[in-house]
Amino acid sequence: MGIEQKLGNMGIVTLKLEQVINWSRANAMWPMLFGLACCAIEMMSAQAAHFDMSRFGMELMRASPRQSDLMIVAGRVSRKMAPVLRRLYDQMPDPKWVISMGDCASCGGVFNNYAIVQGVDEIVPVDVYVAGCPPRPEALIHGIITLHEKVKGETLKDWA
Amino acid sequence: MSEDHLNKAIHTLKERFGLREAEIQKYPPALLVPAEQVIAVCQTLNDEFGFNFLSDLTASDYYPEQEPRFHAVYNLYSHEHNTRICLRVPLNGDSPTLPTVEVIYYNANWHERELYDMFGFDITGHSDLRRILMPADWEGHPLRKDYPLGYEEPQFTFNYDDIDRRKHKARYEEA
Amino acid sequence: MSETYEVTLEELKHLVSERALSGETVLLNMGPQHPSTHGVLRLLLELDGEVIVNCVPDIGFLHTGIEKNMEAKTYEKAAVMTDRLDYLNTIGNVLAYSLAIERLAELDVPPRAQAIRVILVELQRIASHLVWLGTHALDLAAMSVFLYCFREREAILDILEMCSGQRMMTTFFRPGGLWRDVPADFELAVRRFLRSFPARIDMYHALLTKNPIFMDRTRNIGRINAEDAIRWGLTGPSLRGSGPSNDIRKTQPYSGYEQYDFEVPTGTNGDVYDRYLVRMEELRQSLRIIQQALDMLPVGPVRSNNRKYVPPPRAELGTSMEAVIHHFKLWTEGFELPKGAIYSPVESPRGELGVYLESDGGPFPQRVHWRTPSFVHLQALPVLSKGHLVADLVGIIGSVDIVLGDADR
């Protein structure tokens, strides 16, 4: 109903370029499979049938960083894993976003000790933090929608 | 039946190797074994008494007590008799040596690697002594009592800027 | 932190065969980030074409320092960290820890608490086996089973959330019993689950058990005989697939398991298919146990009365001075266990989960060591996978059912 009215006789829609690009980026964001620990199980639950993430465009989780644009760091990052995380982040092509899921990825969580990186933002720049231990699948989806709104608000000046 | 078997095993070991019971252990019953006799005791238990399964091999650090500094703890289980027995090995010094039992119980391999990694034990005769849980270039042995926990101060309002200055935050351009 | 440490071939020379050094076989890294390794596990594979000659697991990418961290917290606070070890068997870990404390302190647990513990632990066992089945089948390319398993798991997580408020990391068991009594519709929810679940197990069997692709990918893969399995330290369903019917719930029962009548399924061949059948049968046996426990659920208190370890109810604080003193001691310093050491094993869905707890008489543990099944089972992976193809390795890892939080602690 909506778009046919705008099309008019010639079948042309006028929009800002930013809107089209942001809309297409947000609605087809492919997450990379980066589940580390307990939050990964809630991420898998969010992907499964009960709390479907595919309705937000994330039908497949790509294992390869070259083919994904969203990295959901789900779980605690240990000191041994930190260089691997950075290397995977560097291998992702632009544009890329990072969601830090759970308390351990956001700030170190329950584990304040020698082995865990206290917050994954020491290693990669994070766009959205989702709190919880582990966050409910609905909380993760809320985080993803927040990220979508952030993406939809990006302007040409950011990319130039 | 398993009680008798266990008592018989303990009695034989006490006589043959001159071991004492370790009162600290509540369950399973434990014997104090000097480090040199570990392999012989394990071989006896495996061959004659059917303790064919190594449940657990771990250690405990009693710093600042130096005598003994560590206790290595072997938990053995016998499938056919359904009994457990424990061997405690007192060890001293900064990098104590412990012979390997991986020829008798194959799964002791990684347990001993973990002892090397976490406590700094020098396991003699081990086929592959490398760090297992920490990164390969890590210095120090984390589970010792004189190793710090690595606790990071939480940011409150009074020290917020202080910690913020020191904390490393990644930026996009860093490669 | 910005520089990575390169592990050179020099250091690993003793692990790979001669053919790798001459370049005849390929060294392939199945890295820490991989869809089929069930977590952050790194495998260094030595391949002759597609056939695995040797496989060297490298763990530690999820090492959390839980054991050292538990030494810095009081016993009650350290219980929070126990859930996060084996994150598919969260409430089983808390059970192992609480049992160790209760055995060391000789604390009594009322029968109602024991029965509810059994119900929740068996539900958690079903939930863990469902994740195992979903991910194992997903690795072997049966994606719909993954979605079905997670749907059933939602029902179980709803029950856990009804009791404790949290889906996964509940910390519902405390030393002395439970945190609080279960709500009124607990029994209704569990009975509804018991009614609906057997049909679902039949559905999984219909999808997988006689499926020719599944059978081709799992029969005669990853065989191990009983004696080798015991030597390599396998326990739980991975051992029972090879023959021995050793189950800690039967051999050294805890928390009232001796009252319930259930069987321990075993296999004969010791291959991936038999381990799959053993775990599927365990789902049915868990349902039997829950049914019996729910039918004979006693009424009574859910936590011990020993005020040295268990805080008094808040209603008592207004009237009794001793209650105030106990409350104060427990909230400021925490309880102290008598000096001693204990090794307390339970049967987790993966195998023998043991807690070695040593106390020096103070409020902090002197040493907490977790004997986790995944750590020990990963050592057997080279033995299980020698001579198989890389595609079979995925099935073998799935059948051993490792959880890296368990292995790395």
pLDDT in tens, A6-29: 666 777 777 888 888 888 888 888
- Do the domain assignments include residue C311? no
CB contact under 8 A, B107 and C231: yes
Would you list the DSSP string of C326-383?
A: HHHHHHHT---PPSEEEEEEEEETTEEEEEEEEE-SSSSEEEEEEE-HHHHHGGGHHH
Using alpha carbons only, give the angle A25, A31, A37 rounded to the nearest 5 degrees. Answer: 155
Looking at residue C370, its pLDDT comes to: 92
Same domain, B118 and B175: no
Domain count, chain C: 1
Question: Structure pTM?
Answer: 0.91
Nearest to C390 by CA among C30, C135, C142: C30
Coil/strand/helix, residue C191: helix
Which of the four pLDDT bands, split at 50, 70 and 90, describes residue A2? low
Looking at residue C21, its pLDDT comes to: 67
Looking at residue B26, its pLDDT comes to: 82
Would you list the DSSP string of A32-96?
A: E--B-SHHHHHHHHHHSSSS-SGGGT----BSSGGG-SEEEEES--BTTTHHHHHHHHHHSPSS-
- Residue burial B74-109, b: 16+ Cβ < 10 Å; e: rest: bbbbbbebebbbbbbbbbeeeebebbbbbebbbbbb
- Do the domain assignments include residue C44? no
Residue C167, Ramachandran bin (φ over 0: left; ψ between -120 and 50: alpha; else beta) = alpha
Coil/strand/helix, residue C32: coil
Q: Which residues pair with C174 in a beta bridge?
A: C177
- Do the domain assignments include residue C328? no
* Nearest chain A CA: its distance from C259 CA (Å): 33
Q: CA dist C282 to A73, C265, C272, C305, Å? A: 34, 7, 15, 35
Read off the CATH number of the domain in which C93 is found. 1.10.645.10
- Do the domain assignments include residue C264? yes
The residue whose two tokens read 């959880």 is: C403
Element (H, E) at C197: helix C186-208
- Do the domain assignments include residue C31? no
Nearest to C113 by CA among C177, C175, C157: C177
Same domain, B127 and B153: no
* Nearest chain B CA: its distance from C247 CA (Å): 10
Task: Say how far residue A28 (Cα) sits from the centre of its chain.
Answer: 11
Nearest to B31 by CA among B49, B19, B15: B19
Coil/strand/helix, residue C39: coil
Mean pLDDT of all residues in B24-42 = 87
**Interface predicted TM-score (ipTM):** 0.89
Read off the CATH number of the domain in which B126 is found. 3.30.460.80
- Do the domain assignments include residue C1? no
Walk across the sheet containing C51-58 and list its strands: C26-30, C42-48, C51-58
CB contact under 8 A, C379 and B135: no
Q: Residues of B at the C interface (Cβ-Cβ below 8 Å)?
A: 24-28, 30, 52-56, 58, 60-62, 73, 75, 79, 82, 84, 86, 105-107, 109-111, 127-128, 130-137, 142-143, 147, 149-151
- Which segments in chain C show pLDDT lower than 70? 1-21
* Nearest chain C CA: its distance from B17 CA (Å): 23
Q: How far is it, in rounded angstroms, from Cα C239 to Cα C234?
A: 5
pLDDT in tens, A44-101: 889 888 888 888 888 888 788 898 889 999 989 998 888 889 889 999 998 889 999 9
- Residue burial A51-78, b: 16+ Cβ < 10 Å; e: rest: bebeebbbeebeeebeebbbbbbbbbbb
The residue whose two tokens read 């509810």 is: C116
Q: CA dist C384 to B89, B156, C378, C381, Å? A: 32, 52, 10, 5
* Nearest chain A CA: its distance from C75 CA (Å): 15
pLDDT in tens, A136-156: 999 999 999 999 999 988 887
Q: Which residues pair with B86 in a beta bridge?
A: B30, B75
Lowest mean pLDDT among A31-35, B56-60, B83-87, C277-281: A31-35
Same domain, B8 and B83: yes
Looking at residue C53, its pLDDT comes to: 86
Looking at residue C4, its pLDDT comes to: 54
Q: Residues of A at the C interface (Cβ-Cβ below 8 Å)?
A: 33-38, 40-42, 44-45, 48-50, 61, 63, 75-76, 78-84, 87-88, 110-116, 133-134, 136
Using a pLDDT cut of 70, give the percent of chain A over it. 93
Same domain, B100 and B160: no
Mutation target for B interface from C62, C99, C104, C231: give the one with most B CBs within 10 A: C231
Is C23 an 8 Å CB contact of chain A?
Answer: no
A123 near A86, Cβ under 8 Å? yes
Find the domain containing B74 and state its range.
3-138
- Do the domain assignments include residue C58? no
Looking at residue C38, its pLDDT comes to: 79
Domain count, chain B: 2
Same domain, B50 and B126: yes
Would you list the DSSP string of B74-103?
A: EEEEETTTTEEEEEEEEE-SSS-EEE--TT
CB contact under 8 A, B152 and A118: yes
Find the domain containing C139 and state its range.
66-305+335-408
Looking at residue C1, its pLDDT comes to: 38
Q: Give yes or no for residue A135 having a pLDDT over 50.
A: yes
Nearest to C177 by CA among C347, C356, C301, C343: C301
Take residue A73 and report the two structure tokens written for it.
């760091």
Q: Which residues pair with C343 in a beta bridge?
A: C356
Q: How far is it, in rounded angstroms, from Cα A36 to Cα A48?
A: 18
Same domain, B41 and B120: yes
Same domain, B155 and B90: no
Same domain, B134 and B149: no
